[in-house]
Chains A and B, each alone.
Chain A
Amino acid sequence: MGLTFAEYYVLAVLTLAIVLLLMHIVRYDVVGLLVMALLIIGGIISPGRPWHLLVQPRSWCSAA
């Protein structure tokens, strides 16, 4: 079963994120921002999507 370019790209970003989180080279929020930037550059998500997710009011209700 062959993957499309978009699937390969997201898989590569996912792998990079896991490696960075495992190695603790950079802080976790920086990893998140890097992932987001790579997904925008790769055209996988629109630039407005992360902003939309950030301002989702429900995300702000975390107790943790």
Chain B
Amino acid sequence: MIISKALEESGFLDRLAEELDKVLRNEYLLLIVVLLIISLSSGFMSDVALVSIFIPFMYAVSRNHNKRLSKYLLPLSYAAIVGGRYTIFGTSTNLVIDQLWFERFGKYLSVFQFLNIGLAIVFASIPALLLIYLLLPNRESVVTSVDDLKIGEYVVEAQVGEDCELVGKTRREVEREYGIRIRSILPRRLSRTGRIHVGTTLIMEVPVDKLPVISSIKGLKLASESEQVEGKEVVEALITSSSPIINYTISDLDVLSKYGVRIVGISAGNRRIYGRISHVTLRPGDALLLMGSEESIAKFMGDYGLVPLRTRGARLFDAKKGAASIIVLMGATIASLLGVNIALAFLTGVIALMLSGAVNYRRIYQYIDWPVLIFIASFLSLGYAMSSSGLSMAIANVLPKSLIVLFVITALMANFVNNVSAATIMTPVALTYPNPLLAVTVVAMASTTTFLTPFSHPANLLVYNPGNYRPRDYLAMGAILLIIALLITAIFTHTIQI
């Protein structure tokens, strides 16, 4: 998670997409290359992060080719989901399977255990994604001019804590030092002294490229103690003309208690904001800075029709960080292949990134998706209990010993319940099959086919509103990819020794 986050923050993929757009003028060729890059990157990066990075790129492509955004976003989401399966650490379901395999046989699977079949599904899916692109309706998008939007600066509200390095400094000193503008200091009676005090709230105008600087100022809290959120992901989101939050204020929405997401900043065009941002009435075209976990932000944005907006300036290209992340990722993967303990290899990589300065050690904990880790670890108990109690054997005795049936049940569970649950419940059953390796390969491939509903994967939810999709689009288009994954899996498991 940490290495993947460093790579995401480096802006490497954003730059790569921009360069590809300049070089490749043929739309189909551009789509094939970009979808392939997304799928292959997904083996090492978070699917949601990849989709967020490439949504603005898809806006640009849709504009250049005079087509609607609905043509591009679903293939983008599917490409990110389809790719994660070919490495053990590319998706959480593979790690669940790996752990349950270890519990049963006392040894882990290889890092690239599913490489052959995973890559076969990726390569077979690319033409299918092009077909989906052709079949998708040219539906009117909720946003047509996002590419023209220039979100220059956000108004951010922050609380000065006791150990804050800004305490005692004058307004002008802070403005000069950090390249921001302080619009007001609240409460106003404390601002008369001219210096910043503990407990005051700063209403700041922050240029997009200075946002990371502000968030790393010691003791300056973007969320007060009572309003802390679990994740520390920060996402820029655009309010579209069809969003139901128009004409409401941030305090009306109560996003924090409903979603666990905090709105830490707003870009409201020409309107001047001097008071608390929670009192600002929201208008179409305003952009919000959201803080929380990736999943809760995706849900909030999906429910309220917000469009993720990764402006170019928000993440400047950091060549050193990008190169360091890629080298570390490759080094750790090669070391794992050569027999080094995978955890040791990646831990060494993270330490190398910290020593090189590519990753700030203070932010390491923020990079980790704790709810996912807790869920995997606690839910694995169920898989273990199913094996040790004998329930997995009892279920296996009831089910026909067909790998296709195993695939279909796992895929349906992954789509309509949860992918980790599907892997946790079906792997102990698969381990009772005559050829357990073939059976767990089927479970691994099926549990990553979360294409059928907007809610089966956060990446699907992220493109739901911007693409103006209907649930039936997911069902129809997802079924194409599901069938391809099933066919490739069937061919591999019946003809090729994995």
- The digit string for B84-109, where 1 denotes a CB below 8 A from any CB of A, is 10011111100100110010000010
Closest Cβ of chain B: how far from A16's Cβ, in Å?
A: 10
Contact A29 B389 (CB under 8 A): no
Within the assembled complex, what's the spacing in Å between the Cα atoms of A34 and B355?
39
Q: Which residues of A lie under 8 Å from residue B386 when comparing CB positions?
A: 10, 14
- The digit string for A35-64, where 1 denotes a CB below 8 A from any CB of B, is 110010000110001100110111111111
CB-CB under 8 A for A60 and B381, given A4-B389, A7-B390, A44-B389: no
The answer to the question of B278 belonging to the interface, with a C-beta cut-off of 8 Å to chain A, is no
The answer to the question of A1 belonging to the interface, with a C-beta cut-off of 8 Å to chain B, is yes
State which residues 12-46 of A face B: CB under 8 Å: 13-14, 17-18, 21-22, 27-29, 31-33, 35-36, 39, 44-45
Partner among B91, B377, B389, B417 whose Cβ is within 8 Å of the Cβ of A59: B377
Please report the total number of A residues contacting B with Cβ < 8 Å: 38
Q: Which residues of A lie under 8 Å from residue B43 when comparing CB positions?
A: 63
Contact A63 B89 (CB under 8 A): yes
Contact A36 B421 (CB under 8 A): no
Contact B90 A57 (CB under 8 A): no
Partner among A9, A53, A64 whose Cβ is within 8 Å of the Cβ of B92: A64
Q: Which of B44-52, B125-133, B268-276 contacts A (4 or more CB under 8 A)?
A: B44-52
CB-CB under 8 A for A44 and B46, given A10-B391, A28-B418: no
Q: Which residues of B lie under 8 Å from residue A29 when comparing CB positions?
A: 371-372, 374-375, 378
Contact B385 A63 (CB under 8 A): no
Closest A residue by C-beta to B458: A64
State which residues 310-369 of B face A: CB under 8 Å: 341-344, 346-347, 368-369
Closest A residue by C-beta to B346: A61
Q: Which residues of A lie under 8 Å from residue B341 when comparing CB positions?
A: 57
Within the assembled complex, what's the spacing in Å between the Cα atoms of A49 and B376?
13
- Chain A binding surface, main DSSP class: helix
Q: Which residues of A lie under 8 Å from residue B390 when comparing CB positions?
A: 4, 6-7
Closest Cβ of chain A: how far from B395's Cβ, in Å?
A: 9
- The digit string for B427-462, where 1 denotes a CB below 8 A from any CB of A, is 000000000000000000000000000000000000
Closest Cβ of chain A: how far from B34's Cβ, in Å?
A: 19
Within the assembled complex, what's the spacing in Å between the Cα atoms of A19 and B91?
24
Q: Which residues of B lie under 8 Å from residue A7 when comparing CB positions?
A: 389-391, 394
The answer to the question of B40 belonging to the interface, with a C-beta cut-off of 8 Å to chain A, is no
Among B88, B372, B381, the most chain A Cβ lie within 10 Å of the Cβ of B381
The answer to the question of B380 belonging to the interface, with a C-beta cut-off of 8 Å to chain A, is yes
Contact B381 A63 (CB under 8 A): no
Contact B382 A62 (CB under 8 A): no
Q: Which residues of B lie under 8 Å from residue A32 when comparing CB positions?
A: 374-379
Among B47, B341, B382, the most chain A Cβ lie within 10 Å of the Cβ of B382
Contact B99 A10 (CB under 8 A): no
Contact B378 A33 (CB under 8 A): yes
CB-CB under 8 A for A21 and B418, given A14-B425, A62-B95, A64-B91: yes
Closest Cβ of chain B: how far from A22's Cβ, in Å?
A: 6
Closest A residue by C-beta to B416: A22
Contact A17 B382 (CB under 8 A): yes
Contact A62 B418 (CB under 8 A): no
State which residues 24-82 of B face A: CB under 8 Å: 43-47
Contact A64 B99 (CB under 8 A): no
Within the assembled complex, what's the spacing in Å between the Cα atoms of A58 and B89?
9
Partner among A17, A53, A61 whose Cβ is within 8 Å of the Cβ of B377: A53
CB-CB under 8 A for A13 and B385, given A53-B380, A60-B373, A61-B343: yes
Within the assembled complex, what's the spacing in Å between the Cα atoms of A22 and B414?
11
CB-CB under 8 A for A64 and B46, given A21-B417, A58-B98: yes
Contact A58 B375 (CB under 8 A): no
Within the assembled complex, what's the spacing in Å between the Cα atoms of A11 and B460?
31
Within the assembled complex, what's the spacing in Å between the Cα atoms of A49 and B374?
14
Within the assembled complex, what's the spacing in Å between the Cα atoms of A35 and B496?
38
Contact A50 B381 (CB under 8 A): yes
Q: Which residues of B lie under 8 Å from residue A9 when comparing CB positions?
A: 389
CB-CB under 8 A for A13 and B382, given A53-B377, A64-B47: yes
Interface, chain A (partner B; CB < 8 A):
1, 3-4, 6-7, 9-11, 13-14, 17-18, 21-22, 27-29, 31-33, 35-36, 39, 44-45, 49-50, 53-54, 56-64
Give me the 10 closest cross-chain CB pairs, A-B, nearest first: A57-B343, A32-B378, A54-B377, A29-B371, A36-B378, A6-B389, A32-B375, A32-B379, A29-B375, A61-B89
Q: Given A17-B382, A32-B378, A61-B95, list of 11 further CB < 8 A pairs?
A: A3-B391, A4-B390, A9-B389, A10-B386, A10-B391, A17-B379, A29-B374, A53-B384, A60-B368, A61-B89, A63-B87
